[in-house]
Amino acid sequence: MTGPMLERERERVAAAARRLAADGLVTGTAGNVSERSGELVAVTPTGARLDAITTADVAVVDLAGEQQDGELAATSELGLHLGIYARYGAGAVVHTHPPFGTALACVIDELPVIHYQMLALGGAVRVARYATFGTLELAELTLAALEGRSAALMANHGAIAYGPELDVAMRQSELLEWACELYWRAAAVGMPRTLDAAQQLAFVEAVTRRGYGVKRRSDP
């Protein structure tokens, strides 16, 4: 007798959801997480508190959105997750309602590059125009905002990030909220300075030239 489908992925998705709640990036039932494995996706269910989600709560759907396993229905934002998998070849998606990111998404149209670490997100973070949650319109607006980026803000709603695997998507979500808080704090003092295209390119070239983060090979 076979066990539950995508058991390891479901376990990781549940753990990620609880961690997001513990870190204050989601509250109550707001937010969702998914991880893809081949033609299947493990995804948090609709209407469940993320701070208490268990492995058994996580749903499994195919890339057409048809549920394949799990007693609870998938999140209402399933279409957005599946759209990111289809268009950007992601391995995991994280949708949050973080305090600073959501607040800025109520005010600005784009989060400029105020720190070089934002280049890990692809550059300035766009804010997708508002649409009702769970709709095709919201999914399309958000997918457009993600063009050339791995994260976006969603006007009067929250934030979205993706990566090749769940750990990376989680780090991108955390980086985005850090950048939003940085902008918020800087704007409280004055107009934040931004890095222009030449400065951004110089940073990328410096990282490449210096092999930043690459371990030196030891001699045999």
pLDDT digits (tens, 9 = 90+) for 117-174: 999 999 999 999 999 999 999 999 999 999 999 999 999 999 999 999 999 999 999 9
Q: Tell me the two tokens of residue 113.
A: 């590059």
β-strand pairing of 110-111 with 32-37 = unpaired
Q: Is residue 93 part of a domain?
A: yes
How far, in Å, CA of 58 to CA of 53, rounded?
Answer: 8
| pTM for the structure as a whole | 0.93
Q: Compute the mean pLDDT over every residue in the chain, rounded to the nearest whole number.
A: 94
Quote the pLDDT of residue 171: 98
Assess whether pLDDT exceeds 50 at residue 1.
Answer: no
Q: Could you list the residue range(s) of the whole structural domain that residue 201 is in?
A: 7-210
Please list, in sequence order, all residues whose beta carbon lies within 8 angstroms of the beta carbon of residue 135, skipping any fewer than 6 positions away.
79
How far, in Å, CA of 18 to CA of 64, rounded?
Answer: 27
Assess whether pLDDT exceeds 90 at residue 209.
Answer: no
Q: Is residue 135 part of a domain?
A: yes
**3-class DSSP assignment, residue 87:** helix
Beta carbons of 53 and 85 less than 8 angstroms apart = no
Q: Is residue 37 part of a domain?
A: yes
Where residue 165 sits, what CATH number does that domain have? 3.40.225.10
Quote the pLDDT of residue 220: 47
Q: Is residue 219 part of a domain?
A: no
Total domain count, the chain? 1
User: Catalytic one among 77, 140, 147, 165?
Assistant: 77
Q: Is 7 a catalytic residue?
A: no
How far, in Å, CA of 44 to CA of 20, rounded?
Answer: 12
pLDDT digits (tens, 9 = 90+) for 67-82: 999 999 999 999 999 9
